[in-house]
Structure 1
C-alpha cells in the first residue's frame, strides 16, 4: 500500500484528489492538511511514501514544505500540484527536491501515475508541465548548450536510461525494460545526473523532455 499525504488549502481540491486516489486499491490517504506547516507536521507523524502538495498555500507554502519534507524525511517523495502561470514556482520546487509535477486540471490517470512513479523513486512530469518548464528554461538559460547536445555526450546506454527517466520509469522498471540488474541501473542514473550536471531525477527528466527523447506514455 502506498501511503499518501494530501495538502491543499481548498477543501474541494483535497476531496477531488482523495477521490481519484481512492480508485486505486494500492493507494491509501493517511492524512490531509490545509497548509504547508500542517503538511510538514503530518508528514513527520505519519511518514507517508508520497506527499501531494499544492504549490501555493497560505503561511508555509508547498515549496517550502516540500523542501523541509525532503530534508527531514528522505523516504517521502513529493508530488506538486500546480496551475497555469506558476512556472517560477515549479522551478523553485524542482530545485527544492520535488519529484513529481502535475496540473490540477489534468487527467485523473496522471495523478495515479505520478504517485506510483514517485513512490518507486522515479520522477514524473505531466507533459504540460514539462513543456512549460522547458520553454521557461530555454528562454532563461544562457548556458550550458541545448539539451540535445548535452544528451549526445552520454553513452548510448545512458541515453536509454535518461529517456526512461523522463517517462517516469523507476529503476526497477528501467532494469526490466533494458534487461539489466537494478544495481547497474542505479550506477547509470548516477552517471547521467553527474554528466548532465543536474541535482536530481526530476531535473534530468526535464532535460530528457527538452531533448525530445522521451518515449510516448504506455510504450
Structure 2
C-alpha cells in the first residue's frame, strides 16, 4: 500500500516539484495546499500511513508550536518539516514537538526520497547538517580551553568583527554590507581568520566565535542558533 502524503507548501512551483518527485517514487500524493488550515482531516484519518510535509513559510515564528498544534488535530500524521537554513535550537524544539524529520529544502531529490522512505517506516530522521555540526563542535572544543581568550589568536579589529558576524551564522554578503566592505575583502578576511584560528571551515569558526563570546552575548536557554552550513560557497 502506497504511503499517503499531504503537501503544505506555500510556493506553487516548489509544491509542484515536490509532488512530482514523490509521485515518481511510489508515494501517493493525496492533498496539496498552500495553508495548513486547508488540510482535510478525513484524509489523515483514513490513511494507514500519512505523512505531512510542511515548508518553512507555513511553520510561522514558532515552528515547534505549529507542529504541536498540527499533531493535536492530526494525531496519527507523521510531520516532515522543510526549512531554508539549519537552526539547531529550532530543530531540537521541532523534534520535541513530535516531528519525524527536519530537513533543508535544497537537499538533493534522492535524499528527500530516502528521508521520506525512512519516515514511512516510522523512523525519525536527523539532517546531515546535525552530524556535521556535532563533528565541528567536537574538533573546536577539544582545543578551545587552551586558547579561551580572543587575544591569543592575533586577530585584527576587522577580523574580530567578521568572526562575531560568523558566529551569528551570517553569509559573506550580509557581513560585507553590515561592515561596509567589499565581498572580496570579506573573503580575504575569512581565509585569514580560518588560518589564525586553526580551523577548516566557517562552521568551526562560528563555534569558535561563540566559545570566545564574540558577536553577541552568550546564548540564553531557548535562544535560536543559526549556522551557515555551505562552507564551499561562502569561503
TM-score interval (norm. to shorter): 0.5 to 0.7
In the alignment, which residue of structure 1 is the partner of 2:20?
Answer: 19
Deviations 1:132-159 (A, max 9, x none): 4x48999xxxxxxxxxxxxxxxxxxxxx
The answer to whether the Cα contact below 8 Å between 1:5 and 1:50 also exists between their aligned partners in 2 is yes
* Alpha-carbon distance change, 11 to 61 in structure 1, aligned in 2, over 3 angstroms: farther
Q: Which residue of 1 aligns with 2:112?
A: 111
Match of 1:74?
75
| Number of equivalences | 133
> Do 2:5 and 2:52's aligned partners in 1 also have CA atoms closer than 8 Å?
yes
Report the equivalent of 1:2. 3
Deviations 1:98-140 (A, max 9, x none): 01122111111111112121121111122124434x48999xx
Partners of 2:3 and 2:66 in 1: CA distance:
20
* Aligned-pair CA distance for 1:60: 8.5
What is the 5 A alignment of 1:8-47?
Answer: 8-24=9-25, 26-38=26-38, 41-42=39-40, 44-47=41-44
Contact map agreement 1:35 1:58 (CA 8 A) in 2: no
**Distance 1:59-1:84 versus aligned 2 partners, 3 A rule:** closer
Structure with higher Rg: it is 2
Ranges in structure 2 where 5+ consecutive residues have no aligned partner = 139-235
- 2:51 and 2:93 map into 1 onto residues whose CA distance is 19
| Gaps in structure 1 of 5+ consecutive residues | 139-219
Alpha-carbon distance in structure 1 between the residues aligned to 2:100 and 2:79? 6
CA RMSD of aligned residues (A): 2.7
Runs of 4+ in 1 over 3 A off after TM superposition: 58-65, 85-88, 129-132, 134-138
Matches within 5 A, 1:1-219: 1-24=2-25, 26-38=26-38, 41-42=39-40, 44-47=41-44, 49-57=50-58, 63-132=64-133, 134=134
Give the TM-score normalised by structure 1: 0.52
- Cα 1:61/1:34, change in 2 over 3 Å: farther
CA contact (8 A) 2:63 2:90 kept: no
Task: Tell me the residue number matched to 2:173.
Answer: none
